[in-house]
Amino acid sequence: MKRILVTGATSGIGYELVKTLTGKGHSVVATGRNQAKLEELSEQTGCQSIQADLSDAQQALELVGKAVEHLGGLDVLVNNAGMNSRKCGIEDFTLEEFDYQYAVNLRAPAVLSREALKVMKPAKSGQIINVLSTVAKRSNETMSVYTAMKQGLAGFSAILMKEAQPHGIKVTSLFPGGADTNFREVDRPQYMHPKSVAETIAVLLELPQDVVMHEMVFRPPVEVE
């Protein structure tokens, strides 16, 4: 079984992912900003938890080290945390929104990947899973800042894959389509359930040792592109 750090674990996909992974016997550290939700998740699953605000660079820098202390090592990092403050035209976004989305959606997963790489390289094994979005494959009006950050992370993840490969470390970029989470302003029952997305992510840990999924795009049946 693997030692896993999951970010963005207090709601939606991350919450379900922790339940799925612990249900399969993995040792998991869940992290997020909501301490009450983390405690609830720990009670349900037996996972360990670390409260952290990934918009704070120092907290992001320290998170991997804390997870390693809790787990006794680190086999898998799942960069799931992400946010989109609102939809708006390019002329309407604020500098505060831009900086916050940069901190959470791009800087934090990049820093966490860097720190995880330092831990995994000596072990000559490990896996980093970056949860992006199909917005990184498209150009949707009113989604400029979020799209820019996710496309930036996609580019970073592609280079991470090449630099990690010689050290036996697998890197996967995931591009999920619409999911019915509280990320959205209204319910979308026709979209993927967070549990379905979590189970899809968990499959990556069960692939044969000689297989790596570099990229995976998956959507609900109502989406075709």
**Active site residue ranges:** 146, 150
Q: Which residues of 32-68 are buried (b: 16+ CB within 10 A; e: fewer)?
A: bbeeebbeebbeebebbbbbbebbeeebbeebbebbb
| Alpha carbons 68 and 45: distance in angstroms, whole number | 19
Specify the pairing of strand 3-6 against strand 76-79: parallel
| Alpha carbons 104 and 106: distance in angstroms, whole number | 6
Record the tokens describing residue 80, joined without a space. Answer: 């799931």
Record the tokens describing residue 72, joined without a space. Answer: 């006794």
- Type of residue found at 38: L
